[in-house]
Amino acid sequence: MPSHLRFSPFRIAAVAALCAAAALSVSAAPSSPTLNLMPVPAKVSLIEGKYRITAAAAIGAVGEAGPRSRKAAARFMERLAGRTGLFFEQDFLAGLAKPNEVGFLFKYDSVGPLDGTADESYALTVSPDRVFLVAPTDLGILRGLETVLQLVDADERGYFVPCVQIEDQPRFRWRGLLIDTGRHFMPVDVIKRNLDGMAAVKMNTLHWHLTEDQGFRLESLAFPRLHTKGSDGFYYTRDQVRDVIVYAADRGIRVMPEFDIPGHSTSWLTAYPDLAAAPGPFRIERHWGVFDPVFNAADENVYKFFDRFFQEMAALFPDPYVHIGGDENNGRQWDANPAVARFKQKQGLADNHALQAYFNGRILKILAKYGKKMVGWDEIFQPGLPRDIVIQSWRGRDSLFESARRGYAGLLSNGYYIDLCQPAEKHYLNDPLPADVTLADNERALILGGEATMWSELVSPETVDSRIWPRTAAIAERLWSPADVRDVEDMYRRLDTVSVRLEELGLLHLKNQDMILRRLAGRADIGPLKTLVEVVEPLKGYSRQNQSLRYTQLSPLTRFVDAAFPESRPARTFRQTADRFGETRDRTLGETLRGQLQRWRANGDLLRPLIQASPALAEIEPLSRDLGTAAEIGIQALDAILAGTAADAAWAQDSLKALEQAKKPKAHAELAIVSGVEKLVRTTLGK
């Protein structure tokens, strides 16, 4: 997509007429450090002046405004009131004000369809007299109102919106978040508050992963045993699903369901074992991994079952797409079934890949019968499938690009697996269309965007927000903003502000850390625990599941590691400061490091009584000891550097060995400051 907007002469004239004061000198500031916008808009120009927000401020529309934009306007004013504490005079819940009576004015031409094709662009002009938002569709208005809220600032005179001109549009049209509710059930309020978070950073697709080996999470009238036998009683009613769909639509977000087949299907087969490729009975899985149960692709009754099932689901979910999963079928039950072997021979299917392609083709015809398009993970891609399917890449970008070269639309999720607790920087620099990709223009157009994936093996309703936010805001920016917006440090600066703002939407990513720590300590005073948890991170990737304790669906997710954020911001800051100090020997930086290290060194004595009083905290004693050891080594290194004396080589080597020990996982977490201390030790050696 081009990085600039195209608006009709009428819209440009309307902006000029209603915001004459905006005709001041404009200075280009696409990444101005005075703004905390995320995602960064396509074009930003600051203008002299401020629009002052007072109790008299109201919101209104030019022309007709439909239900979605009216609700968005009411939410905007409600959030603005909460942010500013102002008692607005407008009864914004009752309706919109007249255009000549408002400070916030918007205009759009049509209602945008929620099918992934709508124009979400907008133009925003803020003058000292008015905030005016223009868009081709109401979806652009929703995106623009979020930008206005991000612009709200304060000074000694009160709250204001800086005068600015913005022209904005998304780089990719599919900007999604997958929430896995199959492995661990997530109540409706979890889904809704994360929809609010998605809307705040301009994401537009909720990928609702509803079935897994560990649970079938949706009421079915056609096959009620699916939810009664396959869910442990934790499932969404049809009315709850409709409620979520409406809630999402009001925020300009589509809801795409995923029903994972033919593998990852133990919960289905618990209810209907006759549809499996091996004899039952089956039980809901409590462990994590890839399991054998699979639908019998050679049984015609399976396709009759799915015809009825998808007829019901197509009527319930209005989105044009249905995700069928299609991943990680190990094929063992197919290999062990003589009837399946005979079927493959009869159909001329060379192997299980060909059999799954046959299965996918049959499911595709069923979905098409009910007006739906098919989405699936990499494994569904087989030459010969119709080109209106979408391939979601989890194994790597190469498969995404290869499917595009063959004419298939695709989504990137590889590199956006937020459950793996990688730093925001890693996700931020992961681009669905990197500069060096060799695709023709028509092939590039087939890369629809991407999705962050929140798999739920190691999260509960009280910790899932902290694994999604704020890092998903960085992914949202990668999918919305121009490709050349790649300043990592500026991203982190803005991410801190966005993280706090997300709390006003009810997200629990920040506040629940203290709650978990208080529960572990059994007391309100958790200062020493906070000091430790702020400098540790959960193990990355799948390492946590490979430790001595084997996690299951029933394992508690209430331990110290569950309170730790995926990325330690204090540790990152410490590492960066240590790097700068190593380069400059600046004494001020050195004293900053010393103060932090002294605090960490002293924390062990403060934390010890809490550990002794709580058996659940016993596992963190080695972490606490390592923090003290690393801090002491860091202080000794600083002393040598600031004194200008050469460190003893034996001391340095012993220190580096001790730090290697401190790097090793304890309590399923790792100490994130160690590399910064290593930098200080190496600096004493002139490295």
> Over 98-167, what HEC string results?
CHHHCCEEEEEEECCCCCCCCCCCEEEEECCCCEEEEEEEHHHHHHHHHHHHHHCEEECCEEEEEEEEEE
Give the range among 20-24, 347-351, 403-407, 645-649 with minimum mean pLDDT. Answer: 20-24
Both tokens of 27, joined, read 């200075």
Q: What is the rounded CA–CA span in Å between residue 213 and residue 267?
A: 5
> What pLDDT is stored for residue 383 in this prediction?
74
**pLDDT over threshold 90, residue 20:** no
Residues 6+ apart with CB under 8 A from 419: 453, 454, 455, 456, 457, 458, 459, 467
∠ CA(379), CA(383), CA(384), 5° rounding?
120
**pLDDT over threshold 90, residue 15:** no
The band of 5, judged by pLDDT with boundaries at 50, 70 and 90, is very low
Does an H or E element contain 254, and which? strand 254-261
Q: Can 328 be counted among the known catalytic residues?
A: yes
- The label of the residue with tokens 């996918």 reads 360
**pLDDT over threshold 80, residue 235:** yes
> What pLDDT is stored for residue 685 in this prediction?
87
In this structure, the strands spanning 153-155 and 158-168 are antiparallel
Q: What percent of the chain has pLDDT over 90?
A: 89
pLDDT, tens digit (0-9, with 9 covering 90-100), for 411-443: 999 999 999 999 999 999 999 999 999 999 999
Residue 324: phi, psi to the nearest 5?
-105, 10
The band of 686, judged by pLDDT with boundaries at 50, 70 and 90, is confident
Q: Any long-range contacts for 77-84 (C-beta under 8 Å, 24+ apart)?
A: 79/149, 79/504, 80/53, 80/149, 80/152, 82/504, 83/149, 83/152, 83/159, 83/504, 84/53, 84/152, 84/158, 84/159
Name the percent of the chain in helix, strand, coil, to the closest 5: 45, 15, 35
Q: What is the rounded CA–CA span in Å between residue 357 and residue 329?
A: 12
**Confidence (pTM):** 0.94
DSSP 3-state of 96 = coil
Residues 437-462 have a mean pLDDT of 97
Rg over CA atoms, the chain: 27
Q: What is the rounded CA–CA span in Å between residue 566 and residue 43?
A: 32
The band of 24, judged by pLDDT with boundaries at 50, 70 and 90, is very low
**pLDDT over threshold 70, residue 29:** no
> What pLDDT is stored for residue 379 in this prediction?
87
> What pLDDT is stored for residue 391 in this prediction?
96
Task: Kindly report the average pLDDT of the chain as a whole number.
Answer: 93
* 633 closest CA partner among 605, 589, 586, 598: 598
> What pLDDT is stored for residue 213 in this prediction?
98
State which fold the 174-503 domain adopts: TIM Barrel (3.20.20)
**pLDDT over threshold 60, residue 22:** no
The band of 549, judged by pLDDT with boundaries at 50, 70 and 90, is confident
Query: What is the domain partition of the chain in residue ranges?
Result: 9-168, 174-503, 512-684
DSSP 3-state of 606 = helix
State which fold the 9-168 domain adopts: Chitobiase; domain 2 (3.30.379)
* 319 closest CA partner among 139, 113, 124, 135: 113
Type of residue at 135: A
Counting Cα atoms < 13 Å in the Cβ hemisphere of 159 gives 17
Residues 16-23 have a mean pLDDT of 37
- The label of the residue with tokens 């599919």 reads 174
pLDDT, tens digit (0-9, with 9 covering 90-100), for 327-336: 999 999 999 9
Give the range among 23-37, 113-127, 406-420, 597-611 with minimum mean pLDDT. Answer: 23-37
> What pLDDT is stored for residue 9 in this prediction?
35
> What pLDDT is stored for residue 11 in this prediction?
43
pLDDT, tens digit (0-9, with 9 covering 90-100), for 340-359: 999 999 999 999 999 999 99
> What pLDDT is stored for residue 547 in this prediction?
76
CATH topology agreement for domains 9-168 and 174-503:
no
Helix locations, 317-413, DSSP H = 332-335, 338-347, 352-369, 397-405
pLDDT, tens digit (0-9, with 9 covering 90-100), for 258-281: 999 999 999 999 999 999 999 999
pLDDT, tens digit (0-9, with 9 covering 90-100), for 610-629: 999 999 999 999 999 999 99
> What pLDDT is stored for residue 687 in this prediction?
74
**pLDDT over threshold 90, residue 101:** no
* 339 closest CA partner among 260, 276, 284: 276
* 131 closest CA partner among 173, 159, 172: 159
The 10 Å CB-count burial string (b at 16+, else e) for 419-430 is: bbbbbbbebbeb
End-to-end CA gap in the chain: 46
Of 300, 312, 328, 451, the catalytic one is 328
Q: Are 247 and 312 in contact, with CB atoms under 8 Å apart?
A: no
Residue 455: C-alpha distances to residues 131, 186, 207, 210, 656 (Å): 40, 11, 11, 11, 36
